[in-house]
Structure 1
């Protein structure tokens, strides 16, 4: 199956380009579906339990395990299954077309994405994030296989946009925000006694967007404009995996900060990013965006929801 005819693409002018947005949106959608999958897995009880087991009751009327699982399937089942099928389709495509994705490529994509929109990763397991980046790379490599971008165009793009590949250090950060210093200190005390940061954030944090994700606000760096500067300042001084001290925010509230992962900043050389750029430019030449579903017929993919 071919989605583009082979052709040489010359540079169209000196206009400064940004990193692509459509593939990033595809990745964000895939990552969101992954997060739903994790959530369902977390909620799914022991398989040895009986479907008619009572999991709750209201006014003496039971809600059974079967009712609960059916409701969850209706709520998120389609999206979760779609994610599973698409991941399998992409792995099958990789085998058929001889697509290889290295750890170095995944780390490069992670660094570049965190520099553009690190908050799109919030609420996701770190390893799941890398797995979804891998799936997206397979899709991009298959789609761009027939589009030829000459070396001069790639080199010119790099020279005009070299600053895009000077990546700042990013911190995968979680926060708990509370109204007073006393409440913050109490939260720190609970953490020191073994309480879960994730659980406390859901219970206590007044930042509702991150509270629902266990306090996770994704990757932040020195140029992240959507967070209080005090959060980045504190995160940049913390050790990975360690809770920090209480930090006062600009609005008068207080926060406790946890740094889950540090992605060290670096300047990527032309040789390190040339294939990434070539793929980016090739994707831009495609007449329309293509999702993994376009490969379902080729690989005889079928699912519970029919066509």
Structure 2
């Protein structure tokens, strides 16, 4: 979460303030890379597969597995490797500067994210989402390590924005959208016979954005405006791991709703969020924007693509 308030702070030591970037951009970047990892992981064959195996053909001309994977490497290989190196560099920086991230901190950030932009995590499973949050926290802590925020400023921000920390219950939700009720009922029947929800969403859902992610639309709550209210209503009545009956939507289509995870709503006290607020206010004070490659030389990072 980003805040638009300014507070007076002591100027950090310029020799240690080596990496300054916008955490939201990093969050988006990590999200992209996690999705790429998932996609490539889905594509990579097991060791029993032969590199000259035919994966497709056009007019009788084969396309082999090695051609396929070579094209994938050319398309996204550089970006994926860049993020792998940067993530490793950040982990190394965290060790050097004594940065630690606890499970409780990840839980807090996850709860706060679900109340604001939980749908940005669609396509990632729970463990990937938590790892993404951990990586972002490491980066933010390195960035704000030497920025001093007055305790009174932290208390003042909490007092003025206490409602931000009253978190609604959120549901990690997947959907299958169909144009007719009969198609939705058919999908329900296939689910009852053991078909996987992810696979059916990819095959049947007319909502291509969520369908390509196995139906995942991320975390939704009572304030989520970007979905049909009937989807939230159905999700709020389900237990974790359960699937709804056919749900009628306002645009005339139909949905099947599945809840993958429930994060119970709660109100966070000042003591629970003061370090979070202090870090966020510190990040606001950083004027420069330098990408993670700023640490490469310090930690002797090298890669396939050279300089």
TM-score past 0.5 threshold: yes
Q: 1: CA distance between counterparts of 2:48 and 2:187? A: 37
> Considering only aligned residues, what root-mean-square deviation do their CA atoms show, in Å?
1.6
Q: 1: CA distance between counterparts of 2:67 and 2:200? A: 29
Once the two structures are TM-superposed, the CA of residue 53 in structure 1 deviates from its matched residue by 2.7
SS in structure 1 opposite 2:119? helix
Partner of 1:69: 69
Partner of 2:127: 127
SS in structure 1 opposite 2:260? strand
SS in structure 1 opposite 2:105? helix
Partner of 1:301: 301
Q: 2: CA distance between counterparts of 1:125 and 1:77? A: 22
Partner of 1:231: 231
> Do residues 168 (structure 1) and 164 (structure 2) align?
no
> Do residues 270 (structure 1) and 275 (structure 2) align?
no
Alignment coverage as a number of residue pairs: 291
Q: 1: CA distance between counterparts of 2:180 and 2:288? A: 51
Partner of 1:56: 56
> Do residues 194 (structure 1) and 194 (structure 2) align?
yes
Q: 2: CA distance between counterparts of 1:97 and 1:87? A: 15
TM-score (norm 2): 0.91
Once the two structures are TM-superposed, the CA of residue 155 in structure 1 deviates from its matched residue by 0.5
> Do residues 204 (structure 1) and 201 (structure 2) align?
no
> Do residues 217 (structure 1) and 217 (structure 2) align?
yes
Deviation string 1:105-135 (CA, Å, 9 cap, x unpaired) is 0111111111111110011121011111111
Partner of 1:113: 113
Q: 2: CA distance between counterparts of 1:56 and 1:170? A: 42
Deviation string 1:66-95 (CA, Å, 9 cap, x unpaired) is 111101111221222122112211111111
SS in structure 2 opposite 1:173? strand
Q: 1: CA distance between counterparts of 2:53 and 2:270? A: 60
Partner of 2:245: 245
8 Å contact kept, 1:109–1:133 = yes
8 Å contact kept, 2:248–2:254 = yes
- 66-75 vs 283-292, which moves further: 283-292
Once the two structures are TM-superposed, the CA of residue 28 in structure 1 deviates from its matched residue by 2.1
Q: 2: CA distance between counterparts of 1:170 and 1:83? A: 30
Higher RCO (Cα < 8 Å, 6 or more apart): 2
Q: 1: CA distance between counterparts of 2:265 and 2:79? A: 34
Q: 1: CA distance between counterparts of 2:212 and 2:181? A: 22
Q: 2: CA distance between counterparts of 1:147 and 1:251? A: 50
Once the two structures are TM-superposed, the CA of residue 290 in structure 1 deviates from its matched residue by 3.7
Q: 1: CA distance between counterparts of 2:128 and 2:218? A: 14
- Gaps of at least 5 residues in structure 1 are 1-6, 11-20
Once the two structures are TM-superposed, the CA of residue 306 in structure 1 deviates from its matched residue by 2.1
Once the two structures are TM-superposed, the CA of residue 222 in structure 1 deviates from its matched residue by 0.3
Partner of 2:85: 85
- Gaps of at least 5 residues in structure 2 are 1-6, 11-20
8 Å contact kept, 1:115–1:170 = yes
Cα–Cα, structure 1 residues 204 and 77, in superposed 2: closer, same or farther, change >3 Å? same
Q: 1: CA distance between counterparts of 2:36 and 2:276? A: 29
Partner of 2:156: 156
8 Å contact kept, 2:23–2:139 = no
Q: 2: CA distance between counterparts of 1:8 and 1:223? A: 34
